[in-house]
Structure 1
Amino acid sequence: MKPARPKRTRLRAAAKANVPGLADAQVKAIQERIGHHFKDRSLLVQAFTHPSAVAAADSVRLSNQRLEFLGDRVLNLLIAERLIERRKTESEGELAPRLNRFVKKGACAEAFRHFGLQEHIILSDGEVASGGRDRESTLGDACEALIGAIYQDGGLSAARKFVEAGWTHQFSSAPAETRDPKTLLQEWAQGQGLPLPKYNVIERSGPDHEPVYEIEVQVPPHGAAKAKGSSKRDAERNAAALLLDSLTGTP
């Protein structure tokens, strides 16, 4: 009979068993689709690990939240860089709504679907059952995290190649004139001699890793509108579009 292992050793083994992972076949498939082969495989695994798949105490260390934070900043830089290079006659006010269009959560989710990576996200059973694998916020977060992982593993040029490939369809289908609903609503209010629209947070719900914001926008005395989004920015844009539609018939 073998002697029992020390308690510390058993705890280490249990912790190791709970670390999320991807099978070799999954890693190979992901790398072939995105066109980047990771030197540090742990970055790829972390990018695909949803917070629901790990214990709360391990979320910072193992989930994709920190990489998502980094990837969001890298994406903003790369899209801004692209716009500066290709829209040489446009002002900051014209470039800003274009930037917002390409970096919002929905755009990231679309890019993630373009690569067909949804099946590889590591989720809890509960998240899978509730449709998490198709949820826009989940896909968008994973895409931002993957950008962050590629940046850390291969630098800015590797991240740039990923964004150029993932956003190709969105770049080509973008309308010549992309206007943000908040900008349009502000211009409408100013044209009517009214105060600027006011935005208020009505409610914040959902877990920390997947919040839902409800925002109300008001243009007294012409009315108000409420809308939800996975970020304050998206909720404000959605609310502005609804109010603009009710005021002018042009969302």
Structure 2
Amino acid sequence: MSPAKRPRADVPQRPVGDLASILQQRSGAVVDEPLLSRALTHRSFAYENGGIPHNERQEFLGDAVLGLVVTDHLYDAHPDLPEGQLAKFRAAVVNSRALAKVARELELGGFLMLGRGETTTGGRDKDSILADTMEAVIGTVYLCGGLPAATKLVHDLMGDLIQQSALLGAGLDWKTSLQEITSTLALGVPSYQVEEDGPDHDKTFTARVMIAEEQLGSGVGRSKKAAEQQAAEAAWRELKARSDAAATGA
């Protein structure tokens, strides 16, 4: 019996030139195709093809460029926010899930070069691979067109997400975010009142958050922590709306 045929390393489903054209339209930079091909080369493919160059150096560069572009925007857009809050907003944008979402919108999976193992385990749609490759692509655009081109690309691809980062970033930890906004607005420290109901094996918790003697949010959850987080979210959104209205004179 002849040995089973081994699956070969995967090949791109679409030509790299198509992606180069898309990136040129979105960034204004003329993208070098060999450099872009390397950005699309996963280490698994490189290993199975004699150790050719892969995309991890460009990924490293792109991660730094992306962080700079997003940080620069948030620094200018939120002049009164402390470092901790800005870091949360940035984390809402610069993360694997967000980058993978953008990569899927670009249909980046169709351009990847993967090894056998990643091919057979669905590597073209793995968040980690897509996110890393997206950073490598940003790094490539930076190498080809400098910071202006990379900035234009990031804002084109992630502009809506950056604009929404205030809400998304706060959601990383609503209780901490609430404490930060109450500190900024000089409202004191939030306090929580929690009630529980039901038998030990099936309890329901109801939390209310008080700020400056005013109840600004409530929440219900299967744990005290979940109820408090929900109450903190409601209070944070209320204070954010009041703050925004005051800033615009509404």
TM range (shorter): 0.5 to 0.7
What is the aligned length?
Answer: 182
Q: Kindly, what percent of the aligned residue pairs are identical? A: 28
1:148 partnered with 2:139: yes
Match of 1:81 in 2: 72
1:108 CA drift (Å): 1.1
* Contact in 2 for aligned 1:43/1:149 (Cα 8 Å): yes
Q: Provide the rounded CA distance (Å) in 2 between the counterparts of 1:187 and 1:57.
A: 52
In the TM superposition, what whole-angstrom CA distance separates every residue of 1:21-52 from its partner, at most 9, and x where no partner exists?
Answer: 869x7222102322355453221011100111
Alignment RMSD, CA only? 3.5
Amino acid at match of 1:55: Y
Which structure carries more relative contact order (alpha carbon 8 Å, separation 6+)? 2
* Contact in 2 for aligned 1:22/1:45 (Cα 8 Å): no
* Contact in 2 for aligned 1:47/1:63 (Cα 8 Å): yes
In the TM superposition, what whole-angstrom CA distance separates every residue of 1:159-208 from its partner, at most 9, and x where no partner exists?
Answer: 111101110332344454732636846989x989xxxxxxxxxxxxxxxx
In the TM superposition, what whole-angstrom CA distance separates every residue of 1:94-147 from its partner, at most 9, and x where no partner exists?
Answer: 211001111111111111112222111111132121011110000000000111
Residues 165, 177 of structure 1: CA spacing in aligned structure 2 closer, same or farther, 3 A cutoff?
A: closer
Residues 85, 249 of structure 1: CA spacing in aligned structure 2 closer, same or farther, 3 A cutoff?
A: closer
Q: Provide the rounded CA distance (Å) in 2 between the counterparts of 1:31 and 1:57.
A: 23
Residues 67, 183 of structure 1: CA spacing in aligned structure 2 closer, same or farther, 3 A cutoff?
A: farther
Match of 1:47 in 2: 39
1:166 partnered with 2:157: yes
Match of 2:55 in 1: 64
1:245 CA drift (Å): 4.7
1:117 partnered with 2:108: yes
If you compute each CA radius of gyration, which structure gives the higher value, 1 or 2? 2
Residues 96, 183 of structure 1: CA spacing in aligned structure 2 closer, same or farther, 3 A cutoff?
A: farther
1:30 partnered with 2:19: yes
Instruction: Normalising by structure 1, report the TM-score.
Output: 0.61
Runs of 5+ consecutive residues of structure 1 not aligned to the other structure? 1-19, 193-242
* Contact in 1 for aligned 2:91/2:169 (Cα 8 Å): no
1:57 CA drift (Å): 9.3
